[in-house]
Amino acid sequence: MKSKWFLLILVALLMAGLMTACGGSSKSSSDDDNGADDDTAPVDDDTTPVDDDTTPVDDDTTPVDDDTVDDDTAPDDDTVMPPPDWYCDLPAITGLDAGQTVGGGSISGTITVYVFNDSDCTPLEGATVLSGGNTYTTDASGMATVTADRANVLVTAFKDGYWSWAYQVDAAIMAFRLRPNDYGLTYADSTPGDFLTGGSPLGLQNPTGGLTQLLSSPIYIGAAIPGVSRYTLLSQDFNGLFSTATFDINYSYNFGTPTSDTLAAPRSIYFPAVDLNVSILTYGVTATSDGNTQIMVPMLAGLSQYPIEGLTAEVNIGGAGFNVISLGQIIIDAIGGNYGAVADLVVKPLINNGFNFNYVGANPTWDGTGAANIDMLTPAAAKGTTVTFSGASGDYDYLAVLAAEIPNRALLPLGMKIKDTGNSVTVQSVDVPDARYDLVAGKTDLLTSGLTSLNLGFVFKFANDLSEWSSGVAIADSDFLPLFDSLNTAWDSGTATVTWAFQSAADVSVVLAIYVPTTGPWSLAVINGAETSYTPPVADLGVTPSDSDIVVLVGIQLPAGVDPNAFDPTHLLNYDSLAMNLWTNFDLSTILPTF
């Protein structure tokens, strides 16, 4: 069960990672030259004649850029943010340009393979490299020379104690960062800190009492975690996301069989005290907790930067339109195991009318030594960005998620809506200092399939200022990559092969395949976009394939100018891709309670 929850967290992080380059190598939204000005010299190196500065530090008074010297009077606001202190860069490899781990031209007889430890970028001696049925072993420099007589041959690197990686690209040089099972990092929880607004704690209160209070009072929950960057997502040590200190949430329910338990929640979760005892028909749910309104964030010793992601969300059962009758129907469907009906009754009303990111962390004051306080912004409910879908199919649900990205800090979700009637939704938004804005349009059959399929597509839009979307954002159904064809996409444990197909011709550059066996090391593979299957080397990895193994596929359309045979697969999710899609055989019903 633990691995399934961990996989679900990874899928959620993948989805978040697909949304925004939150930190890492991303550029500041205050880049006033649309990326051209690198402000490393006093001479203004704008390459376009039109003044595209939008920040107040620009003192140009005419629309034409007449700078002859850089007139910024504030500190350099156009620098590429460095990766986190714990993230290492690979040594320079002859034949590869900066930022590449595959390349060196087309395969011609041999492939030079380098294998490194992802935690410290040291060469891995004794790693195994597989290709074309042959086995190779890396030397003290982490290198092996692989014989290859054709392009796009599959090369796999692995070692005991590490996840395996595989590349299927036409590249003469391949460098692998093998993720260790244990990064060897130690974390210490910070002293307790507050979510602040106007310098004072938020003071939010959860309901106490029974059904009346539940229907009339929102439930608040929040979280604070170290900043996660899309740039480092595949190298993230997820063990350091949540505090080791915990608080108890006691709960019980009676849906025919009385059940009670205690959840030890990490203190990086924000949860005001609650005391609920709700009964409907002959069924009941209780939840009690002294709560946790002071957050503790895990931190690594010796860091120079302490990014924090923080938010609180409001769940308003009554505001979503639920009442005794509708809640009773949900209970009846849940007892009957009809989770598709439960999802249909719950998810869309709750997201559209009962769910709100009421505070987002925008101004952390934490320096790693004191309390992990975060000044919160209050989104204005009346402000919104309109997203219009055209050509939407009734076989899918469409959603829009708007987030703010602050360099090397965090992804701050601002609003989320699912298209209901009509073709437009208005997503909550708010101006966040120093942020750029990322809008993700999603297309999924999760609800329409009754939770039997998890097939998603994403389209990405970016803006440096919300004013760019003042007239709304238009999303055409043709903007999405064709989704995976669920009838022809499957994991076959007998052949240890995942095969896939798309619903129509798809411009897919590469497919990221993540294989999670029931026992044994995880595997990640970057497969050529023209391929339709992947077989992890289960025998070499010591894995016995099982029907309960989990596979996640991510189809990726790389931006123009990014060569799928000369790039960095370990930073695959950092590219501002035009579109992506995601499929998994992960069965959500396996983690839902049974009554």
Query: How confident is the model over 397-423, as pLDDT tens digits?
Result: 899 999 888 765 667 888 889 888 888
Q: What is the pLDDT of residue 293?
A: 95
Would you say residue 277 has pLDDT above 70?
yes
Return the closest-CA partner of residue 17 out of 586, 580, 583. 580
Instruction: Give the Å distances, CA to CA, from 594 to 139, 277, 586.
Output: 52, 21, 18
Average pLDDT over residues 161-174: 95
Residue 1: pLDDT above 60? no
115-124, 235-244, 330-339: which range is least confident on average? 330-339
- Kindly report which listed range (39-53, 224-238, 453-467) carries the lowest average pLDDT score: 39-53
State how far the Cα of 421 lies from the Cα of 415, in Å rounded to an integer. Answer: 18
Distance from C-alpha of 343 to C-alpha of 345, rounded to nearest angstrom:
5
Instruction: Quote the pLDDT of residue 345.
Output: 75
Q: What is the DSSP letter of 538?
A: H
pLDDT of residue 3: 44
> What tokens does 81 get?
């943010």
Position 294 confidence tier, pLDDT thresholds 50, 70, 90: very high
How big is the CA angle at 39 (ends 35 and 41), to the nearest 5 degrees? 140
Q: Is the pLDDT of residue 35 over 50?
A: no
pLDDT at position 290, please? 94
Which amino acid appears at position 583 of this protein? W
Sorting pLDDT into bands at 50, 70 and 90, what band is 533?
very high
Q: Average pLDDT in the 211-226 region?
A: 88
Band (pLDDT 50/70/90 cuts) for residue 432 is confident
Q: State whether residue 397 is helix, strand or coil.
A: strand
Mean pLDDT of 348-371: 82
- Token representation of residue 293: 């309104």
Distance CA 314, CA 403 (A): 17
On the question of pLDDT at 58 being above 50, the answer is no
Mean pLDDT across 137-149? 95
Distance of CA 424 to the CA centre of its chain: 25
- Report how far Cα 458 is from the mean position of its chain's Cα atoms: 12
pLDDT at 27 over 50: no
**Encoded tokens for 216:** 């009339």
The per-residue pLDDT for 25 is 30
**pTM of the complete model:** 0.81
pLDDT reading at 341 higher than 90:
no
Which residues sit opposite 11 in a β-bridge?
Answer: none
3-state secondary structure of 180: strand
Does pLDDT of 215 surpass 70? yes
Most confident of 232-246, 316-330, 446-460, 496-510: 496-510
pLDDT at residue 532, rounded to an integer: 94
Q: In angstroms, rounded to a whole number, what is the distance separating the alpha carbons of residues 99 and 83?
A: 13
Most confident by average pLDDT, 198-212, 349-363, 406-420:
198-212
SS3 230: helix
Burial of 594 (0-12, 13-18, 19+ CB in 10 A): exposed
φ, ψ for residue 107, nearest 5 deg: -65, 135
Average pLDDT over residues 174-195: 92
**Rounded mean pLDDT of 275-281?**
83
Q: How confident is residue 308, by pLDDT bands cut at 50, 70 and 90?
A: confident
Q: What is the pLDDT of residue 591?
A: 55
Q: How far apart are the first and last CA of the chain?
A: 18
Question: 395-406 burial, b for 16+ CB within 10 Å, e for fewer?
Answer: ebbbbbbbbbbb
Contact at 8 Å (CB) between 189 and 301?
no
Share of the chain above pLDDT 90, in %: 37
Lowest mean pLDDT among 64-68, 332-336, 509-513, 565-569: 64-68
Task: Name the residue among 443, 522, 565, 434 with its Cα closest to residue 234.
Answer: 522
Q: Read off the pLDDT of each residue in 472-499 and give the average, rounded to a whole number.
A: 92
Q: Supply the pLDDT for residue 295.
A: 93
Report residue 251 as tokens: 């709960």
Cβ of 591: how many Cβ atoms within 10 Å?
12
pLDDT score, position 140: 97
- Residues 438 and 412: their CA atoms lie apart, in Å, by 10
Of 410, 188, 434, nearest in space to 303 by CA: 188
The strand pairing partners of 455, in sequence order, are: 583
In the predicted model, what is the mean pLDDT of residues 139-147?
97
Quick: pLDDT tens for 73-110: 333 333 345 677 788 889 999 999 988 999 999 999 99
Least-confidence region, from 169-173, 230-234, 530-534: 230-234
Cα dihedral 325, 329, 334, 339 sign: negative
For the cut 80, the answer to whether the pLDDT of residue 53 exceeds it is no
Residue 421's pLDDT is what?
82
Computed over every residue of the chain, the mean pLDDT equals 80
Domain annotation for the chain: domains and CATH numbers: 1-27+382-446+460-471 (2.60.40), 33-79 (no CATH), 89-181+481-595 (2.60.40.1120), 185-378 (no CATH)
Q: What is the pLDDT of residue 434?
A: 76
In sequence order, what are the residues at sequence separation of 6 or more whose Cβ sits closer than 8 angstroms to the Cβ of residue 174?
A: 101, 102, 111, 112, 113, 114, 155, 167
Q: Calculate ∠ Cα 398-402-404, nearest 5°.
A: 160
CA distance 221 to 291: 10
For residues 105 and 95, give the distance between their C-alpha atoms in angstroms, rounded to a whole number: 9
**Sign of the torsion angle spanned by Cα atoms 225, 226, 228, 232:** negative
Asked if 513 contacts 498 with a C-beta cutoff of 8 angstroms, the reply is yes
Residue 331 above 90 pLDDT?
A: no
